[in-house]
Amino acid sequence: MKDMFQTTLVIAVMLVAGLIPRANAEYPEKPIRIVLPYPPGGGGDVVIRTLQPAFEKRLGQTIVVDYRPGAAGNIGMMEVVKAAPDGYTLVVGPTNNFVINQFLFRDMGFDPLTAFAPVTMLVENPYLVTISSAVPATTFAQFAAYARANPGKLNFGSPGNATVPHLSGLMFSDYLGARMVHVPYRGAQPGLLALVTNDVQMFIASYGIVAAHLASGKVRALAVSGDSRLKTLPNVPTTAEAGIPAGIIFSNWWALAAPRGTDPAIVTRLSQEFRAAAADAETQRKFLEQGAIAINNTPAEFAERMRVEAQAWKAIIVKTGAKLDN
């Protein structure tokens, strides 16, 4: 009994002296860097900036967004794979960086399903099928007829190879039999400018990115992915309502992850705080304006969704024959 008391006393003294870590009770003690593997101004940037005020308030620390674009997002993702698993370097990435790229690149140097500690999926962005106002169509049926009458003559843009809009565009073109030509851009903004000038005739994008162009009348929305219409665009039908079969136009999601090996207590704390930040009234208002839907699942739920979706996307890539240069 005496020995047990002495051992307990020694441990207590060591804890007070800081010689034994206290289960990250003081985390975070410094700013947190969030790597975004894309240029500023895109969908991920909008998501982070929307969550940032509430998250910083809850954690009492600054969020530093570090843009690391390149190689379809792989450069930024690898940056986090190699980072210390201490909770101070995280990544916010989209669907393609977690469940698509591994089937398009011969060797990324990491497997997204095992290289990260999943934290939470942040939001889902339903995608709009948009066309240039120069195209003689105002409905999906009219555009489908126009595209079929002009095989190989229309272009569709995307924010880059291997992205969800790229793969959805391939599926869409295949369904129409239109042989549309894919034109990849470095992010959504330059692609949308190409849509405005009719350099590309179709672009698949989230509402938050394309809203200003819709308001100007230079771009038209034909349909939106997902089960329901956007509250911000009540007159735009869902893909099902427009007559587009399921499994062609997909939504995109953005998620938060840490390097593999990050303390589970830190992962849990981050997940809880980001989910609480997403529930903030002002954050919810901004998401509504952007046409975004908060997901806010647990680390385990995020991991399971990655596993399931990876297999689904693998089948799509095989079906379309998608490559990084088409």
> Of the residues 242, 276, 306, which one is the last residue of a structural domain?
242
The predicted model gives 268-287 an average pLDDT of: 92
116, 144: one domain: no
Among 183, 214, 242, identify where a domain stops.
242
**Do 119 and 137 lie in a common domain?**
no
Same domain as 231, residue 162 = yes
Average pLDDT, integer, range 184-211: 92
Q: Is residue 3 part of a domain?
A: no
Residue 4 belongs to a domain: no
Q: Structurally, how many domains does the chain consist of?
A: 2
Q: Is the pLDDT of residue 138 over 90?
A: yes
**Is residue 17, in this structure, part of any structural domain at all?**
no
Residue 137: pLDDT band by 50, 70, 90 thresholds? very high
Domain end (from 221, 242, 263): 242
CA distance 114 to 76: 16
| Position 249 pLDDT exceeds 50 | yes
In a domain, 18, yes or no: no
Reading the block at residue 37, the tokens are 């593997």
**Three-state DSSP class for 109?**
coil
| Co-location of 232 and 179 in the same domain | yes
Whole-number Å distance between alpha carbons of 152 and 162: 21
- Clarify whether residues 220 and 140 are in a common domain: yes
d(CA 189, CA 195): 10
The strands making up 202-206's β-sheet, listed across from edge to edge, are 181-184, 155-158, 202-206, 127-132, 219-224
**Does the pLDDT at position 219 exceed 80?**
yes
Residue 259 belongs to domain with CATH number:
3.40.190.150
If you average pLDDT over every residue of the chain, what do you get? 90
188-197: average pLDDT: 94
Is residue 19 a part of any domain in this protein? no
Place of tokens 């565009």: 169
- Angstrom distance (rounded) from CA 274 to CA 271: 5
Same domain assignment for residues 140 and 220:
yes
Q: Is the pLDDT of residue 2 over 90?
A: no
Strand 127-132 and strand 219-224: the pairing is antiparallel
Query: Is pLDDT of 7 > 60?
Result: no
How far is residue 122's CA from residue 132's CA, in Å, rounded to a whole number? 30
User: How does residue 159 score in pLDDT terms, banded at 50, 70 and 90?
Assistant: confident
pLDDT of amino acid 120? 97
pLDDT of residue 290: 86
Q: What's the whole-model pTM score?
A: 0.80
- Is the residue at 2 inside a domain? no
The CATH number given to whatever domain includes residue 199 is 3.40.190.10
The whole-number average pLDDT for the span 268-289 is 92
For residue 305, the enclosing domain spans: 29-124+253-320
